[in-house]
């Protein structure tokens, strides 16, 4: 699955259905129509092992019980190449990319909002921002494709692709960031704390769009690897909790506070006793923040869900549909969410632009 799903397919464009059609025999041979949980269950009997080895789809916005088993490749990807952390945090990756762009003579605009796109037939001629008009030879968008099409492209400008109307979105995320005045040496860089009812909890989130008193937590402690992530004698964490997206229609100002208390309570009961006494700084993000800050439709954490019928050609295409000089990168397009997926989408665009312009 790794050889096919990642090595062969992750960096290839899929705007041609014929390219997808050629892979169908391979997909059937790999039984990719099965879910990740189904694949794991065929090899493991113990329920706790099945949970531990099927949880990875949640890291890209999917329910292990209906996400295509192709995503089981995540475990092998981590085993093969290891799990790495950029010293100084994810912001250092951004800084490195900015440095590279400037070295290549790329001009960067910050605090600039896209307001309108100007078309000439089926091409984008320029974009209107809150700071003026910028001429455009080719536009590469890393915003969510659904947001882009709905906000900036009139329905009569391009032929509407019917499958986009039926896309299922990923879940939302509640992310609690906190720093402590105590160092927790016994906690690893990555910890997953599962709830008592694995399948039932996931059904509540994905199917019924409901919050539960029971939660599962991914706890990230970067200071286990990089001591610079907190002052001396202190520690740094974030706790990530899968929750329903904004289709659930909760008041997230109130729910955010409730979830903050629930996460602290659950961590205190398990691996961080008396946590509330040691917290020095704390803040959080809810699905409403994902919508407001990142223009994520329905406040999802990972754009559309990684289902079999929402992968490769069935996902938003990297090549803009009906628009000659538009491309997409990011979680919503092929190959999908997660840092490896997002960077792979950039490699797809690189190959498309080289073939188009060089």
| pLDDT tens digits along 281-336 | 999 999 999 999 999 999 999 999 988 788 888 889 999 888 889 999 999 999 98
C-alpha–C-alpha distance, residues 128 and 105, integer Å: 22
Say if CB 153 and CB 180 are below 8 A apart. no
Question: What percentage of the chain exceeds 90 in pLDDT?
Answer: 70
Where b means 16+ CB within 10 Å and e means fewer, 59-72 reads: bbbbbbbbbbbbbb
Query: Which residues have a Cβ under 8 Å from the Cβ of 126 and sit 6 or more positions away?
Result: 118, 133, 134, 135, 136
Instruction: Please report the pLDDT score of residue 165 as a whole number.
Output: 61
pTM for the model stands at 0.91
Instruction: Please report the pLDDT score of residue 307 as a whole number.
Output: 85
**172-294: what CATH class?**
alpha beta
- What is the rounded average pLDDT of the residues 258-281? 96
**325 half-sphere exposure, CB direction, 13 A CA radius:** 17
Query: Which residues have a Cβ under 8 Å from the Cβ of 339 and sit 6 or more positions away?
Result: none
Q: Which of the four pLDDT bands, split at 50, 70 and 90, describes residue 176?
A: very high
- What is the rounded average pLDDT of the residues 227-232? 96
Domain regions of the chain by residue span: 2-81, 106-167+310-357, 172-294
- What is the rounded average pLDDT of the residues 191-214? 91
The yes-or-no verdict on residue 345 having pLDDT over 80 is yes
DSSP 169: B
Say if CB 61 and CB 92 are below 8 A apart. no
The yes-or-no verdict on residue 340 having pLDDT over 90 is no
C-alpha–C-alpha distance, residues 236 and 286, integer Å: 19
Instruction: Report the Cα 79 to chain-centroid distance in Å.
Output: 21
Query: Which residues have a Cβ under 8 Å from the Cβ of 18 and sit 6 or more positions away?
Result: none
DSSP 236: E
Which one has a higher pLDDT value, 128 or 356? 128
**Angle between helices 252-269 and 287-294 in degrees, nearest 10:** 120
- Topology at the third CATH level for domain 106-167+310-357: FAD/NAD(P)-binding domain (3.50.50)
The yes-or-no verdict on residue 166 having pLDDT over 60 is yes
Question: What percentage of the chain exceeds 70 in pLDDT?
Answer: 97
Which one has a higher pLDDT value, 228 or 159? 228
What is the DSSP secondary-structure string of 76-140? HHHHHH-----TT-HHHHHHHHHHHHHHTT-----S--EEEEEEETTEEEEEEETTEEEE-S-EE
pLDDT tens sequence across 7-51:
777 787 877 777 777 777 887 888 888 999 999 999 999 999 999
- What is the rounded average pLDDT of the residues 150-167? 68
Instruction: Please report the pLDDT score of residue 163 as a whole number.
Output: 57
- What is the rounded average pLDDT of the residues 133-162? 83
- What is the rounded average pLDDT of the residues 82-94? 92
Three-state DSSP class for residue 179:
strand
Statement: 2-81 belongs to CATH 1.10.405: yes
289-295 long-range contacts, Cβ below 8 Å, gap at least 24?
289/252, 290/172, 290/173, 291/246, 294/144, 295/143, 295/144, 295/147, 295/151
- Count CB neighbours of 343 within 10 A: 13
Exposed/middle/buried for residue 7 (C-beta within 10 Å: 0-12, 13-18, 19+): exposed
């Amino acid at each position: 699955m790794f050889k096919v799903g990642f090595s062969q397919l992750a960096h290839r464009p899929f705007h041609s259905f014929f390219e997808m059609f050629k892979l169908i025999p391979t997909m059937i041979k790999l039984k990719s129509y099965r879910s990740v949980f189904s694949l794991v269950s065929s090899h493991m009997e113990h329920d706790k092992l099945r949970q531990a080895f099927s949880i990875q789809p949640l890291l890209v916005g999917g329910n292990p019980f209906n996400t295509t088993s192709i995503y089981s490749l995540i475990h092998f990807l981590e085993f093969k190449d290891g799990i790495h952390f950029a010293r100084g945090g994810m912001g250092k990756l951004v800084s490195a990319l900015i440095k590279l762009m400037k070295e290549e003579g790329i001009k960067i605009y910050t605090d600039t909002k896209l307001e309108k796109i100007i078309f000439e037939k089926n091409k984008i001629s320029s974009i209107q921002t809150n700071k003026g008009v910028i001429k455009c030879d080719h536009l590469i968008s890393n915003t969510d494709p659904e947001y882009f099409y709905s906000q900036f492209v009139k329905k009569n400008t391009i032929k509407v692709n019917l499958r986009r109307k039926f896309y299922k979105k990923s879940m939302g995320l509640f992310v609690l960031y906190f720093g402590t005045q105590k160092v927790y040496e016994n906690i690893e860089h990555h910890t997953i704390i599962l709830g008592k009812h694995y399948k039932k909890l996931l059904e509540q989130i994905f199917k019924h769009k409901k919050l539960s008193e029971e939660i599962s937590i991914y706890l990230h402690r970067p200071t286990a690897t990089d001591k610079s992530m907190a002052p001396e004698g202190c520690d740094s964490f974030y706790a990530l909790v899968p929750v329903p997206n904004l289709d659930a229609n909760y008041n997230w100002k109130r729910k955010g506070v409730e979830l903050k208390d629930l996460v602290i309570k659950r961590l205190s009961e398990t691996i961080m006793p008396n946590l509330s006494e040691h917290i020095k700084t704390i803040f959080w993000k809810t699905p409403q923040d994902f919508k407001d800050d990142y223009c994520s439709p329905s406040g999802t954490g990972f754009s559309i869900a990684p289902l079999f019928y929402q992968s490769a050609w069935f996902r938003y295409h990297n090549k803009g549909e009906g628009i000659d000089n538009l491309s997409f990168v990011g979680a919503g397009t092929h190959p999908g969410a997660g840092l490896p997926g997002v960077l792979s989408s950039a490699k797809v665009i690189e190959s498309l632009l080289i073939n188009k312009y060089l």
